Amino acid sequence: MKILHTSDWHLGRALYGRKRYDEYEAFLNWLADLIEQEDIDVLLVAGDVFDNSTPSNSAQEIYYRFLCRVAASPRRHIVITAGNHDSPSFLNAPRELLKFLNIHVVGCASDSPDDELITIKGPDREPLLIVCAVPYLRDRDIRTAEAGESVEDKERKIIEGIRDHYRRVYDAAREKCSRLKSPVPIVAMGHLYTAGGKTVDGDGVRELYIGTLLHVGTDVFPDHIDYLALGHLHIPQTVGGSDFIRYSGSPLPIGFGESLQGKSLVLVEFSDESPRVADIPVPRFRELQTLRGDRQTIVRDIEELKSRGSNAWLEVLYEGREIAGDLRALLEKAVEGTGLEILLVKNKGIVEHALSRMTGKETLDDLDVTDVFERCLEAHDIPMENRPAFLSAYQEILISLNEENPMAE
């Protein structure tokens, strides 16, 4: 019995406005080939299939095309659970149809534990594996709100609710296993944040539950689960020092903060002994690079990328102290005619220098965007008579941005 564990695809996610459908399609084609080559019996997808609750037509097309290809083998199974980015009703909508392709979808928690149990059977119709397919547990699934309760009470109830939910599903799996001719492995899935989990800035991991990152301990999970396939954190990692409790991580870098991260899937192979667990590296389908420094350093790094024929997407963090109003034009000219593309330029040094002028009692929360701009003018000794023109132009830009995106903060 070979199981492949993956999660956090985030199909449809854009990066600074650029769509990434080519990357997602390349990954899923590679994944389908891997499943064939490794003769995988069960694919587990532990949440955040899509990046939002209303995925685009292109994201849906990539998803369903992949499912159809992998389901072409009549003995192969796929188990998909929802994450906090997914719409439970959207994932569940085709579930009865997908069952005929051995694709099992659990979009939301159920009052009946049996609804989250998937029994994987072999060609002889005998059970080979039981999956406790627990999706992302929303607050309303596991806690009853009461008037006047404290934040501590809410957190305690949530943790108790998670523990109770896993216990009920696992007990139902054990009961089902006890009725079989011979015992089979029990695998569980989950989409949550465990204590000690590693993240990186800009990885898109949204806050869970009651507006805080609630880190649950491994004690919420029942003992004796043979393997626990987790999703939500994007860095591949074990939990609590156990090889059998793992986050597979996201297969693609969700943002530039993950650009240097090694991405992988988890291969779990059951035999007569304990399961054998191994990481399978995922290729990089698009290079992401963050360039930082002054003007000369950034241009030099671009030349180095050009010399090796890179087609990377670039995030540029300008840290020079001089005003560089023509920086974007300069950089665009430097990458012209190459495969390189600049997605974002941040004038980091100027902003930080401006913020350094804040008084001891001020924080960034005390300033609005106009205050920060005025500090920039002050930091670079812009003459007083020129500042009104700069402010007027800046206000026009803000108005234009807000008209294009009224929900922008």
Mean pLDDT check: name the lowest of 72-81, 96-105, 308-317, 339-348.
Answer: 339-348
* Predicted local distance difference test score (pLDDT) of residue 299: 92
Q: How far is CA 163 from the centre of its chain?
A: 24
What is residue 213's predicted lDDT score, i.e. its pLDDT?
A: 44
Contact by Cβ (8 Å): 194, 217: yes
More confident residue, 402 or 408: 402
Residue 341 lies in a domain: yes
Q: Are residues 199 and 96 located together in one domain of the fold?
A: yes
Predicted local confidence at residue 398, as pLDDT = 66
Report d(CA 1, CA 272) in Å as an integer: 10
Select from 49, 43, 64, 68 the least CA-distant residue to 11.
49
Once rounded to an integer, what is the mean pLDDT over residues 131-151?
84
Which of 266, 281, 296 finishes a domain?
A: 281
Residues 24 and 173 in one domain: yes
Please determine, for residue 36, whether its predicted confidence score (pLDDT) is greater than 70. Answer: yes
The alpha carbon dihedral of 373, 296, 312, 207 has a sign of negative
pTM of the model: 0.81
Q: Residue 110's pLDDT is what?
A: 92
pLDDT reported for residue 406: 41
Angle value at C-alpha 19, between 254 and 303, nearest 5 degrees: 75
What CA–CA distance (Å, rounded) separates 122 from 4? 17
Q: Are residues 191 and 126 in the same domain?
A: yes
The pLDDT > 90 percentage for the chain reads 58
Say if residue 150's pLDDT is above 50.
yes
Q: State whether 263 and 297 are in the same domain.
A: no
Q: Determine the pLDDT at residue 377.
A: 83
Same domain, 183 and 61: yes
Q: Give CA 338 to chain center in angstroms.
A: 30
Domain CATH for 77: 3.60.21.10
Q: pLDDT tens-digit profile of 229-254?
A: 999 999 999 998 899 999 999 999 98
What is the arithmetic mean of pLDDT over 96-107? 95
Residue-averaged pLDDT of the chain: 86
Residue 218 in any domain: the answer is yes
* pLDDT of 286: 92
Number of helices (H), then strands (E), in the chain: 11, 15
Average pLDDT over residues 172-194: 92
In a domain, 409, yes or no: no
Q: Are residues 276 and 294 in the same domain?
A: no
* Shared-domain flag, residues 103 and 242: yes
At residue 209 the predicted structure's pLDDT band, cuts being 50, 70 and 90, is very low
Please state the separation of Cα 167 from the chain's center in Å.
Answer: 26
Query: Over 50: is that where the pLDDT of 210 sits?
Result: no
Last residue of a domain, one of 281, 313, 332: 281
User: Among residues 372, 259, 234, which one has the least CA distance to residue 315?
Assistant: 259
Beta bridge partners of 133: 189
Does the pLDDT value for residue 358 go beyond 70? Answer: no
Same domain, 277 and 382: no
* Predicted local distance difference test score (pLDDT) of residue 97: 95
- pLDDT (average), residues 119-148: 87
Residue 221 lies in a domain: yes
As a whole number, mean pLDDT of residues 161-173 equals 95
* Cα 79 to Cα 74: distance, rounded to the nearest angstrom: 15
Q: Which domain holds residue 11?
A: 2-281
Q: Is residue 163 part of a domain?
A: yes
Residue 27 above 90 pLDDT? yes
- Beta-carbon contacts of residue 102 (< 8 Å; ≥ 6 apart): 71, 74, 75, 76, 77, 78
Same domain, 318 and 352: yes
Q: Containing H/E element for 42?
A: strand 42-46
Tell me the DSSP string of 149-188: --HHHHHHHHHHHHHHHHHHHHHHHHHHHHTSSS---EEE
Tell whether the model's pLDDT for residue 276 goes beyond 80: yes
Q: Which of 258, 281, 304 is the last residue of a domain?
A: 281
Per-residue pLDDT, averaged over 190-200, amounts to 82
Which range is least confidently modeled, 10-24, 28-42, 140-154, 311-325? 140-154
Mean local confidence (pLDDT), 190-216? 66
For the chain, what is the domain count?
2
Q: Return the pLDDT at 350.
A: 56
In a domain, 84, yes or no: yes
pLDDT (0 to 100) of residue 87: 94
Same domain, yes or no: 356 and 250: no
Tell me the sheet residues that pair with 303.
none
In contact, 318 and 295? CB cutoff 8 Å: yes
Confidence of residue 375 (pLDDT cuts 50, 70, 90): confident
pLDDT at 404: 47
- How much is the average pLDDT of 209-226? 74
Structure-block tokens of residue 99: 């069952």
Residues 180 and 226 in one domain: yes
408 has a pLDDT exceeding 60? no
Q: What is the CATH number of the domain that holds 319?
A: 3.30.160.720
Cα–Cα distance measured from residue 118 to residue 102, given in angstroms and rounded to the nearest whole number:
10
Question: Would you say residue 393 has pLDDT above 80?
Answer: no
Q: Are residues 193 and 223 in the same domain?
A: yes
